[in-house]
Amino acid sequence: MATVSGKLVTGQPSVSAEDIAYVKKIVREAGATAIAMREGVDIREKSGPSDKVTAADCAISSALVKHLSARFADDEIVSEEDEHHSPHGKKSRVWLVDPIDGTDNYICNDGQYSVMIGLLVDGEPNFGWVYAPVWQTLYFGGPGYGAFSEKDNQPSERFSDLEKLEIESNARVIMGGRDRKSHPWVSELPQVQVVKMGSIGLKVAKVLEGYADLYVHLAGRLKTWDTAGPIAIARGGNLEVGPIQGDEIVFPKDSIRLESSVIIGRPGCLSWSRTYIAKPPQ
């Protein structure tokens, strides 16, 4: 990976170099808050026992929404911990905030959680920031800009393009716990080595870093704040992104839910996924 000067922004992002630096700063501050509040943090249920939220989620959400609203007053800001949740669908630029992606990982303190911000422009992921506080690493980027990692107090490094995943290849596949339970046959395929990882943003980071070949979410109904930032970064890194069936992933203007499956990985991963895991073997 090559060192980045950070002075010029080229390509298609709808944010300036100063905007990018501003959001880097506030996600790092949010990560510091997550670490500071972790010991003895208050935990409660939202929709049920498997849907938890912590006091840190709420505190980080409030701070990030405040900071984004102050700088991007004409844009819509939506956080997972907002009361209304869904965007109004009236503005072309929508910021999506996931204060702690991987709350269960945060609670069990395994380090596999992140603070995520994604920007949608006209329904398309335009730029994303994913900060892993325990790893002290920030991932950021977008289409036409590139995908980068940045250790705290070190220069940014750009991810190189990954080689194509050939149809006949075996693959290291990241799957979440829900998919592993509902699609157990995937892990039994001879072509598949299942890799476990927490936050969706960190799943994409592990693909970019070469520790896995693709991330698969078959269950559908992911939230837009789970996906906007990671997909923008993935596209910046020239990863392949799409549903296992259909042409493209659609971000609705007035909903927080993606109805399709999500595949993110090396070039060729969509054809590979459609060949091996689109449906159970007969």
For the chain, which residues make up each domain, given as ranges?
17-158, 171-276
pLDDT of 9 strictly over 60: no
Average pLDDT over residues 13-30: 95
* Alpha carbons 226 and 249: distance in angstroms, whole number: 13
User: Where in 166-213 does DSSP place strands (E)?
Assistant: 171-175, 192-195
Reported confidence tier of residue 145, pLDDT bands at 50, 70, 90: very high
Reported confidence tier of residue 12, pLDDT bands at 50, 70, 90: low
pLDDT at 155: 96
Fold for domain 171-276?
Answer: D-Maltodextrin-Binding Protein; domain 2 (3.40.190)
pLDDT at 150: 98
Average pLDDT over residues 143-171: 97
* Cβ burial 234-250 (10 Å sphere, 16+ → b, else e): bbbbbbbbbbbeeeebe
pLDDT of 10 strictly over 50: no
Give the 3-state secondary structure percentages of the chain, helix then strand then coil, rounded to 5: 30, 25, 45
Beta strands 124-132; 137-142: pairing state: antiparallel
- The C-alpha torsion from 227 through 228 and 231 to 233, rounded to 10°, is -130
* Alpha carbons 96 and 256: distance in angstroms, whole number: 9
pLDDT at 51: 66
pLDDT at 27: 98
Fold for domain 17-158?
Answer: Fructose-1,6-Bisphosphatase; Chain A, domain 1 (3.30.540)
Q: Is 95 exposed, middle or buried (0-12, 13-18, 19+ CB in 10 A)?
A: buried
pLDDT at 266: 98
| Residue 270: Cβ within 10 Å count | 18
Average pLDDT over residues 20-37: 97
* Alpha carbons 33 and 77: distance in angstroms, whole number: 20
Average pLDDT over residues 214-228: 92
pLDDT of 11 strictly over 60: no
Q: What is the pTM of this model?
A: 0.92
pLDDT at 209: 98
pLDDT of 3 strictly over 60: no
pLDDT at 49: 55
pLDDT at 5: 33
* Alpha carbons 278 and 280: distance in angstroms, whole number: 7
| Cβ(138)–Cβ(239) below 8 Å | no
Give the Å distances, CA to CA, from 129 to 83, 149, 179, 222, 268.
23, 10, 25, 18, 25
How does the average pLDDT of the chain come out, rounded? 90
pLDDT at 101: 95
Higher pLDDT pick, 42 / 235: 235
Share of the chain above pLDDT 90, in %: 74
Average pLDDT over residues 237-265: 92
pLDDT of 66 strictly over 50: yes
CA torsion sign, 80 to 86 to 88 to 93? positive
pLDDT at 6: 36
* Alpha carbons 113 and 31: distance in angstroms, whole number: 10
Reported confidence tier of residue 43, pLDDT bands at 50, 70, 90: confident
* Alpha carbons 158 and 253: distance in angstroms, whole number: 31
